[in-house]
């Protein structure tokens, strides 16, 4: 159990670092009300999880690798808790068009990204 916890923690730490770098790089080149860094992170995270699930389903992969990459890395990288908090902020600021656009785009494009990841591994 300790080994599995360490693998999840390691993957989560690396995923969190990638999440932070995505935010920093996005903020450097883009400034707008639309939360692009979180959107990019969620879509890339959905795509990565689709690829990983598809790949691991086709191989005899050790469960520890799934814990490291899916539970750890993707869990640390993706940001749906931030997504929800940002939506509340948009709602509180009465930025309704951005709220609806952001929510629908995140869910729909995320769904498509997972599907694409799965299709690539078939």
| DSSP for the chain, written as a single string | -HHHHHHHHHHHHHHHHHHHHHHHHHHHH--SSS-HHHHHHHHHHHHHHHHHHHHHHHTT--HHHHIIIIIIIIHHH--HHHHHHHHHHHHHTT-HHHHHHHHHHHHHHHHHHHHHHHHHT-
Please state the rounded mean pLDDT for residues 71-85: 90
State how far the Cα of 43 lies from the Cα of 61, in Å rounded to an integer.
25
Average pLDDT for residues 61-77, to the nearest whole number?
A: 95
| Predicted pLDDT at 82 | 84
Which tens digits make up the pLDDT trace of 9-62? Answer: 999 999 999 999 999 999 999 988 899 999 999 999 999 999 999 999 999 899
Calpha distance 34→99 (Å, rounded) = 8
This prediction's pTM: 0.81
On the question of pLDDT at 79 being above 90, the answer is no
Dump pLDDT digits (tens) for 96-120: 999 999 999 999 999 999 999 999 9
Average pLDDT over residues 74-88: 90
Mention every residue, 6+ apart, whose C-beta is less than 8 A from residue 48.
Answer: 73, 74, 77, 117
């Amino acid at each position: 159990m300790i080994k599995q916890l360490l693998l999840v923690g390691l993957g989560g730490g690396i995923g969190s670092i990638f999440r932070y770098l995505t935010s920093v790089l996005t903020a450097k080149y883009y400034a707008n009300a639309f939360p692009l860094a979180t959107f990019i992170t969620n879509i890339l995270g959905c795509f990565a999880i689709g690829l990983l699930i598809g790949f691991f389903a086709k191989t005899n992969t050790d469960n520890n690798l799934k814990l490291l990459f899916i539970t750890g890395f993707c869990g640390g990288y993706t940001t749906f808790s931030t997504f929800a908090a940002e939506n509340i902020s948009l709602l509180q600021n009465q930025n309704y068009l951005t709220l609806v656009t952001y929510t629908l785009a995140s869910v729909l494009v995320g769904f498509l990204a997972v599907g694409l990841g799965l299709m690539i591994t078939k």
